Amino acid sequence: MPPEAASLAPAPAAAGLPAAWRAPLAALALAALALVAVTAGAWGAMVHQWWNIDTYNHLLLVPFIVAWLVALKERELASLAPQPFAPALLAVAAALGLWVWGARLGIDLVAQAGAVLALQAAVVTVLGLRVSLVLAVPLAFASFLVPFGDEIIAPLQYLTADIAIALTRWSGVAARIEGIHIHTPAGLFIVAEACSGVKFLIAMVQLGVLVCAVRFSRWRVRIAFMAACIIVPILANGVRAFATIWVAQVIGADRATGFDHIVYGWIFFAIIVALLLGAAWRFATREPDTHGWSLAAIAGWRWVARAEAFRIAPIGAVLAIIALAAIAALGLLL
């Protein structure tokens, strides 16, 4: 290659972390450490649920998904210099207040939501408004770290029982229902908490949000897909319960129950997911790395430039967050 041609080639990107990011990321690490230390009880309870309760095992994937979503924006982030955003300290304070309130009342969901929100607000504070807008999707997706779903188990049990009894009677099997108890010639079937379908439902909602964010650009498609991610698992769980009852009439209740757990746990769920994704994939109009707002779009928002005037130094941001964390810890003790 001639020397002049070589001089026209783009220079390789410098390896390592851009200098403009080093101080803000160090500040963010210190702020996150302080927040997690203060809200350790809430984080410990969340980790326990992720690891030990099968309804929430899929939440172990959330940190990896968030990291992947951030990595997709690496090129755009490299062109930015974080500018700590002072007004977001109000969000940190509000989130810590929510944590204190939930911890005082013994409401784990509220305390855990406050702990996660405090960490999200710290990212906005330390890395700044423009960076946070670029990272809006992973920041929002991190909300799924909070285990939720127990609150809807009872309604799902009754809904599953209603669907199962309707299909059972339609199939010609004589049956009657009392709440979540279904009486059939083969025996009594109870739609227990484990059979409510809550695990399937919340996993599908999480998957639906991810797919909508990284693959769909039209809101009509997003709304339709999210509706399917809610309705289809509920209906499918009712069909599964009916299938268990119907099979029991032929092979016996004990054998049908074992069959149900194997099929539903390993095959049925996978089939439903594959069908939903297969039906929706032709509507995918964007590449994953284009998720969220682009730098060009953000640059066109005048309010962003005006808001960025409220700056704070990285050390000032981290000291303010540590002070707020200390105040929240003191407020919980008093």
Taking only the tens place, the pLDDT of each residue in 249-276 is: 876 666 656 666 656 556 788 888 999 9
Q: Do 280 and 161 lie in a common domain?
A: yes
Q: Do 41 and 110 lie in a common domain?
A: yes
CA angle 258, 263, 264 (to 5 degrees): 100
d(CA 304, CA 310): 11
Count of beta carbons in the 10 Å neighbourhood of residue 17: 10
Q: Is the predicted pLDDT of residue 155 greater than 80, yes or no?
A: yes
Q: Is the predicted pLDDT of residue 320 greater than 90, yes or no?
A: yes
Strand order in the sheet with 176-178: 176-178, 181-184, 187-190
Q: Do 163 and 200 lie in a common domain?
A: yes
Q: Do 96 and 67 lie in a common domain?
A: yes
What's the pLDDT score for residue 3? Answer: 43
Residue 144 resides in a domain: no
Least confident interval from 5-9, 189-193, 271-275, 291-295: 5-9
Q: Do 82 and 208 lie in a common domain?
A: no
Per the structure block, which two tokens stand in for 158? Answer: 């009754």
- The pLDDT confidence band at residue 2, using thresholds 50, 70 and 90, is very low
Domain span at 281: 151-288
The tally of domains found in the chain comes to 2
Q: Do 268 and 238 lie in a common domain?
A: yes
Residue 203 resides in a domain: yes
pLDDT digits (tens, 9 = 90+) for 206-255: 999 999 999 999 999 999 999 999 999 999 999 988 988 888 887 666 66
Q: Do 263 and 183 lie in a common domain?
A: yes
Residue 298 resides in a domain: no
* Residue 311 DSSP SS3: strand
Q: Do 283 and 314 lie in a common domain?
A: no
As a whole number, the mean pLDDT across the chain is: 89
* Residue 202 DSSP SS3: helix
Q: Do 35 and 121 lie in a common domain?
A: yes
What's the pLDDT score for residue 14? Answer: 42
